[in-house]
Structure 1
Amino acid sequence: MKAPVRTLLPLIAVTAALAAPAAFAGPKCTDAPRSEWMPEKTMQDRITKAGYTIDKFKVSGTCYEIYGKDKTGRRVEIYYDPTDGSVVKERDDD
């Protein structure tokens, strides 16, 4: 026996809504409260001093995240721990 469409659609919608955050969530970078994070400007200065060009800098969950280019001009996406500036996850887009 087939289930009516109006019964299946809400079930599909709820399943998709519950799965979406897990599929698109970035890494967990820290448990520290925001008061213990280094200032965004300090982190940006460290990143550019390391030779990166920042096209976009944002707070992503518990991370600082950049989209930009490395020293060789390759596009990168990098997640940083905002308490110590360490790289948590890095991906180059080229």
Structure 2
Amino acid sequence: MKHSAPFKILFATAALSIASLAAAGPVCTRLPQAKWLTPAQMKAKIATMGYRDIKVFQVSGSCYEIYAHTKDGKRAEVYFNPVTGAVVQNNID
């Protein structure tokens, strides 16, 4: 029983580390920013996809991230591969 306390602490620390990694967002590319589409190029591509009223456009880790509305008026949080412009993850309300 003496060894159960350190094990519990180790387990709790590992669980918190995994949870923080999951909340960090997706990995969109491993290429350097010099290979990325420019913000202007990416915004133009996003507009052709039908997203409008972009409230936030930012770099989030290795992604371009936006908060906007879909063409149907739904709120969207979308992560894009900054090299190809492809959608990596989207959360639409």
Normalised to the residue count of structure 2, the TM-score between the two structures is: 0.77
Distance 2:58 2:84 in 1: 16
Structure 2's unaligned 5+ residue stretches are 2-8
Distance 1:71 1:87 in 2: 16
Structure 1's unaligned 5+ residue stretches are 2-10
The answer for the alignment partner of 1:51 in structure 2 is: 50
Identity %: 43
Work out the number of aligned pairs and report it: 86
- CA shift, 1:34, in A, is 0.7
Alpha-carbon deviations, 1:17-48, whole Å to 9, x = none? 63453131111100101110010111011112
SS where residue 43 of structure 1 aligns? helix
Runs of 4+ in 1 over 6 A off after TM superposition: none
The answer for the alignment partner of 2:37 in structure 1 is: 38
Distance 1:91 1:58 in 2: 16
Name the amino acid aligned to 2:56: K
Distance 1:89 1:17 in 2: 23
The answer for the alignment partner of 1:82 in structure 2 is: 82
The answer for the alignment partner of 2:70 in structure 1 is: 70
